Chain A
Amino acid sequence: MAVANNELEKVIIQSVMEELAKKGLLSQKGKDHVMSAAMMDTPIVPNTESKEMVTFPPQEEMQISNPFNADAVKAMKKLTPARIGIGRAGTRPKTMSLLRFLADHAVAQDAVFLDVSEEFLQRMNLMSVQSAAASKDEFLQRPDLGRRLSVEAVKTVSEKCEKNVQVQILIVDGLSSSAIEANIPDLLPALMQGLKSSGIKVGAPFFVKNGRVWIQDHVASIVNSDLIISLIGERPGLGTAESLSAYMIYRPNENTVEADRTVISNIHKGGIPPAEAGAHLTDVIKQILAAKASGVKLNQQK
């Protein structure tokens, strides 16, 4: 940190700091910190005990210099999680937009490698089995392994799951465990409740680790349910790592194609809220059971 040797320098540093603070690039605390440093005569040494730190300005802050209608921009920012009203430096993003983007990318990359905790599975009272992919790395590189149960899981599912039910629910980590932990506590009870009150016979839901969408076909071939639904973690985005999808299929068999599945995506607090999704999914499940078809085939019947 530079040290001011004369009054002029102090004035310059002060006005630069104020300008940065105005633009939200520096917190009041940060400004005070820099100013006090500028006033000092001896250089400061890094102080790890200091509580002061640089942080991002609040996301909702409008970053456009001289907008035509500032209130309109602020209102727009409330309507979408998209990165709008962020201003520019020439044609490029402002420094804080760039750094926030990098931070969000870092967090999203890490989210892929998280596991659903044992504690969570116990709390939700979910039996847990695994796909044929033994690790996250293997899961990412070998989609084929994530599409079938491990040998042990086949045994567990055959022994423990009720057969010939109308609906079997799977909770699958997929590409985001955060999506499971964030949504299942509200979504699963709402869905179970909805199905029960519609008189639909449901098998006990269970959890599959390192699973992809198609693993539902393997499970269905063992439990022989009419419909199987996977509540599965979508790939994490910069905006949220908590987005969950529900993939449903009516009686999959060896001729099943992807278009035979029905999908409801973007279940999370910023999309379809999990509790609401429970009711929505109940309706969709009823339609599928009634039509004895899912996916494009179901839509054709509508």
Chain B
Amino acid sequence: MILKAKVYNKIFAFQSFKEVMAKANEEKSGDELVGIAAKSASERVAAKLVLSNLTLEDIYNNPVIPYEEDEVTRAIYDGLNLRIYQEIKSWTVGYLREYVLDHKTTGEDLAHISRGLTSEMIAATAKLMSTMDLVCGSKKMRVQSHCNTTLGVPGTLAFRCQPNHPTDSIEGMMASLKEGLAYGSGDAVIGINPVEDNVETVTRLLETVKNFMIKWEIPTQNCVLAHVTTQMKALEKGAPVDLVFQSIAGTQKANDAFGVSAAILDEAFALAQHKGSATGPNLMYFETGQGSEVSLDAHLGVDMMTLEARTYGYARGYRPFMTNNVSGFIGPETIYSGREVIRADLEDLFMGKLHGLPMGIAPCYTNHMKADQNDQEMGTLLCAMAGSNFFMGVPGGDDVMLSYQDTSYHDDASTREILGLRPLPEFEKWLEKMGILENGKLTERAGDPSIFDK
């Protein structure tokens, strides 16, 4: 393993694979905060150069956190297809990047090698890719999943309708839900973040949405994004849960902080299979994002991007229906600016897809970051071009409970129309039946929540 590189007249030597991984990253404040980022532009290039020459076997032999010490590493290695890995282990990272981008390489080919790649190999590849590289690579990969409906159908773009309310008011939530549906948002899931994390609130929200879905024959899935243990209790008591949600991260320490473990997730998945209300087989909804490990001081000296890849490695064993990336959600200490968020979103989309996950992105920002609506909209369009399976749908782009900005119902409709993408097939039929959509375009009637108030 060569850890030294010469960039023109300067020589850079690195101590470990972990250090190379951190220094090969594009600039992000979280890596700087931890003190592991490249010190100069030349050092960054040197790290990329070293990385390009490493083989997949080098990486296999050097997980950034040892197998014995971390449940996430174990999930990644235990889930690996060794036969496929053996076939490609002599490839260098630089070669893998070109393989991904090669015209002859199809999405099917990538789905195949995906099973022989560890998360660090995938992260390493993405570190050698520019914005357009990431879009080209991502666009090739389409991952489909099925809960009540099928997500990821080619030519479609779906949305989670996110009708959050600052007091969990049922009527208030319903008002935002109706507005969202009237814009064609909600085919990925109707997902509510509850203010109060208790079984009663979670059950009440789940039942309300489920009844509305039944009454109006809406082909989608419901979910309430409480802590997984609360959802499990609700499930035990018979609440109609289509998707079980949980936030996850790339180290065992961070997952401990989140109050989750592989044992809890296994139990949740089993419970969803036995007592959940959905068809399946994909029954989990995960949220991830660069920076949560840094924010919880649980990064163990590993860079944010590699930790994000490891999170996907942890997720893939649960065959989720959807994995949503929310890298812009935390704040300037991890992702400083609009530029950094856009980069993170594209990296995450690519890395998630190469893990075989049904990825969606929440190109979002908070008010203490140096980002604005223009950055957010650029990120959205790029991720849509890169073939994100879904985005969020928030009334007017402003989440009044979580206090951050995400794609709006308007952005949802706009993105579809700009790129000629359609809602998920069943949902499109429903929208047409409701007179909201015609030939892939909003009708005069669209955008009016009172169409549900006959």
* Bound together: yes
Q: Does A81 contact B (CB under 8 A)?
A: yes
Q: Does A21 contact B (CB under 8 A)?
A: no
B292 to chain A, nearest CB (A): 10
Tell me if B368 and A112 are in contact (CB < 8 A).
yes
Contact partner of B373 (CB less than 8 A), chosen from A91, A102, A141, is A102
Which of A104, A264, A266 has most chain B Cβ within 10 Å?
A: A266
Q: Does B38 contact A (CB under 8 A)?
A: no
Tell me if B256 and A101 are in contact (CB < 8 A).
no
- With a cutoff of 8 Å between Cβ atoms, the chain B residues found around residue A126 in the complex are none
Q: In the complex, which residue of chain A has the Cβ closest to the Cβ of B29?
A: A141
Tell me if B373 and A105 are in contact (CB < 8 A).
yes
Contact partner of B172 (CB less than 8 A), chosen from A72, A80, A258, A259, is A80
Tell me if A141 and B33 are in contact (CB < 8 A).
yes
Total chain B interface residues with beta-carbon distance under 8 A: 64
Tell me if A175 and B195 are in contact (CB < 8 A).
no
B297 to chain A, nearest CB (A): 7
Tell me if B398 and A140 are in contact (CB < 8 A).
no
Query: CA–CA, A80 to B166, complex, Å?
Result: 8
Q: Does A83 contact B (CB under 8 A)?
A: yes
- With a cutoff of 8 Å between Cβ atoms, the chain B residues found around residue A111 in the complex are 367
- With a cutoff of 8 Å between Cβ atoms, the chain B residues found around residue A238 in the complex are 367, 398, 400, 403, 405
Contact partner of A83 (CB less than 8 A), chosen from B197, B256, B396, B453, is B396
Query: CA–CA, A141 to B165, complex, Å?
Result: 30
- With a cutoff of 8 Å between Cβ atoms, the chain B residues found around residue A88 in the complex are 183, 410, 413, 442, 446-447
Given known contacts A141-B29, A235-B366, is B450 in contact with A69 (CB within 8 Å)?
yes
Tell me if B401 and A266 are in contact (CB < 8 A).
yes
A110 to chain B, nearest CB (A): 9
Query: CA–CA, A270 to B195, complex, Å?
Result: 13
- With a cutoff of 8 Å between Cβ atoms, the chain A residues found around residue B444 in the complex are 66
- With a cutoff of 8 Å between Cβ atoms, the chain B residues found around residue A70 in the complex are 450
Provide a sorted-by-A list of 10 A–B residue pairs whose CB atoms are within 8 angstroms.
Answer: A68-B453, A69-B450, A88-B442, A92-B414, A93-B396, A104-B398, A238-B400, A243-B166, A264-B196, A266-B195
Residues of B within 8 A of A (CB): 29, 33, 163-167, 169, 171-173, 175-176, 178-179, 183, 195-198, 227, 229-230, 256-259, 295-297, 331-333, 366-368, 372-373, 395-405, 408, 410, 413-414, 417, 442, 444-451, 453
Supply 17 further A-B pairs (C-beta < 8 A) apart from A91-B413, A266-B166, A299-B198. Answer: A68-B451, A76-B450, A77-B175, A79-B171, A80-B169, A82-B176, A87-B447, A93-B396, A111-B367, A140-B331, A140-B333, A234-B403, A238-B367, A258-B296, A259-B256, A259-B258, A299-B227
Residues of A within 8 A of B (CB): 64, 66-70, 72-73, 76-77, 79-88, 90-93, 97, 101-102, 104-105, 108-109, 111-112, 140-144, 175, 234-240, 243, 257-259, 264-266, 268, 270-272, 295-296, 299-300
